[in-house]
């Protein structure tokens, strides 16, 4: 049976492991011992990835997790699914990819197809991953290289690995063909593009499109408020146009692993090549400054000063119905509130602990600010949590809205 090793067992890596596990012998490699131990017991740590499926694959001997690089030695296919965050100064951080390349280079003992699913800028496969793996390999194994950027949307049930079209391209036609064979086992719609760089750029452009449109609607929310117009009603009105308009909703900012991060990868490579990325940079700024706008609005409504006021931030996950807090806008909002002297706690029905703090009860505040509303957090309970409730989600009727 074809042996597939997947480097990184997070949202992307575990999801792909379980789809691939139906047809292949899958080894999930991760540096995190706790995650690996739990996975080998059949316990999924990813929402939307069922422990029952994991257990079934383990029982069939189609899946096992490991922290030992030697276990990937005789792989036919290796998929890279490790984080690609930003550095402290918001530049691309390829250190996790570098470390994955080290594992691959040091341990593979025969030629393999190496596919990158991690999001990065055009040229990463050709100019970073291939040379890094070759540098770490003690023998010239002539691996094949391909890219297939991941499009999974955690928590989403209508689109999954099978029905979400998947872009792919190899550095050689043989790599392209083998990549098509691999994904066609569990994806119904494969879209071959002419080079890895096109696939890498398309992935970044998809998320930049969202980032820029979210910034636009966030700016529009501010304009609407200044003009005394209801932003939500206006967006719904515009959305009745059957063509040429796509609806986006305002918020306290963007969160998650992708939208606040990926556009900066595109901007960085653009600027490195002498192309301006002013639009992308400005959109980032508008989204990041929404936290300040929200706190300004709340302060104005509450008499100007927030000093000593108890503020409850409701929902710190970056989107509804997931427990994921990566890059959440709640961080900027809470920091801004604390800088202005507010006494801040947060409540999230899906997040117990975050930044060393625990979720507080949904009650007894002077001010509540809703950043994310999970389905099981009721409007009634939010409205009862304080005398003044500010809603950035557009879902809590009865609260003051953006």
Residues that bind ligand NAD (CB under 6 A): 7-13, 29-32, 35, 81-84, 96, 99-100, 103, 117-119, 150-152, 154, 257-258
Which positions ≥6 away from 374 have C-beta within 8 Å?
315, 317, 320, 321, 348, 349, 350
- Comparing CB distances to ligand NAD, the nearer of 155 and 388 is 155
Q: 30 vs 391, which CB is nearer to ligand NAD? A: 30
Parallel, antiparallel, or unpaired: how do β-strands 166-170 and 144-147 relate? antiparallel
Q: Which of 101, 187, 258, 302 is catalytic?
A: 258
Tokens of 305: 């000063």
Q: How far apart are CA 136 and CA 232, in angstroms?
A: 54
Rounded to whole angstroms, the Cα distance separating 99 from 322 reads 28
Q: How far is the CB of 358 from ligand NAD (least distance, A)?
A: 22
Q: How far is the CB of 148 from ligand NAD (least distance, A)?
A: 11
Task: Tell how far CA 290 is from the center of its chain.
Answer: 20
Report the nearest approach of ligand NAD to the CB of residue 118 (Å): 3
Closer by beta carbon to ligand NAD, 99 or else 345: 99
Q: What is the largest CA-CA distance in the chain?
A: 70
Three-state secondary-structure class, residue 364: coil
Please report how close the Cβ of residue 41 comes to ligand NAD at its closest, in angstroms. Answer: 16
Instruction: Tell me how far, at minimum, the Cβ of 54 lies from ligand NAD, in Å.
Output: 15
Closer residue to ligand NAD, CB minimum distance, 131 or 387: 131
**Which residues are within 8 A (CB) of 256 and not within 5 positions of it... i.e. 6 or more apart?**
318, 319, 324, 326, 327, 328
Residues 6+ apart with CB under 8 A from 283: 208, 211, 212, 214, 215, 216, 263
Q: Which is nearer to ligand NAD, 35 or 221 (CB)?
A: 35
**302 is annotated as an active-site residue:** no
Residues contacting residue 86 through CB under 8 Å, at least 6 positions apart: 92, 93, 261, 264
Q: Annotated active-site positions, please?
A: 258
């Amino acid at each position: 049976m074809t042996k597939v090793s997947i480097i990184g067992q997070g949202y992307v890596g575990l999801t792909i492991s379980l789809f691939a596990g139906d047809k292949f012998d899958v080894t999930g490699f991760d540096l995190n011992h706790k995650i690996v131990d739990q996975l080998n017991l059949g316990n999924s740590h990813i929402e939307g990835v069922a422990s029952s499926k994991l257990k079934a694959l383990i029982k069939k001997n189609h899946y096992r997790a490991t922290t030992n690089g030697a276990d990937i030695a005789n792989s036919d296919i290796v998929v890279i699914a490790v984080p690609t965050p930003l550095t402290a100064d918001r530049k691309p951080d390829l250190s996790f990819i570098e470390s994955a390349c080290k594992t691959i280079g040091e341990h593979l003992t025969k030629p393999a197809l190496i596919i990158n699913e991690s999001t990065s800028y055009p040229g990463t496969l050709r100019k970073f991953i291939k040379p890094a793996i070759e540098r770490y390999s003690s023998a010239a194994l002539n691996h094949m290289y391909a890219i297939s950027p991941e499009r999974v949307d955690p928590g989403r049930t209508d689109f999954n690995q099978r029905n979400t079209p998947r872009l792919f391209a190899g550095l050689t036609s043989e790599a392209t063909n083998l990549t098509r064979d691999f994904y066609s086992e569990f994806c119904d719609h494969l879209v071959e593009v002419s080079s890895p760089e096109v696939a890498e750029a398309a992935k970044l452009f998809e998320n930049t499109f969202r980032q820029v449109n979210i910034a636009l609607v966030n700016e529009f929310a501010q304009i609407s408020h200044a003009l005394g117009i209801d932003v939500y009603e206006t967006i719904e009105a515009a959305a009745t146009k059957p063509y040429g308009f796509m609806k986006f909703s305002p918020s306290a900012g963007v969160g998650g692993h992708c939208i606040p991060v990926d556009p900066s990868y595109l901007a960085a490579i653009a600027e490195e090549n002498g192309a301006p990325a002013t639009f992308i940079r400005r959109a980032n700024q508008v989204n990041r400054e929404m936290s300040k706008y929200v706190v300004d609005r709340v302060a104005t409504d509450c008499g100007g000063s927030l000093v000593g006021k108890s503020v409850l931030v409701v929902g710190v996950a970056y989107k509804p119905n997931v427990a994921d807090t990566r890059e959440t806008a709640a961080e900027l909002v809470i920091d801004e509130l604390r800088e202005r002297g507010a006494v801040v706690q947060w409540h999230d029905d899906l997040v117990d602990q975050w930044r060393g703090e625990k979720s507080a009860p949904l009650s007894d505040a002077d001010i509540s600010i809703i950043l994310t509303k999970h389905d099981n957090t009721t409007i009634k309970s939010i409205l009862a949590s304080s005398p003044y409730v500010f809603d950035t989600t557009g879902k809590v009727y009865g609260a003051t809205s953006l």
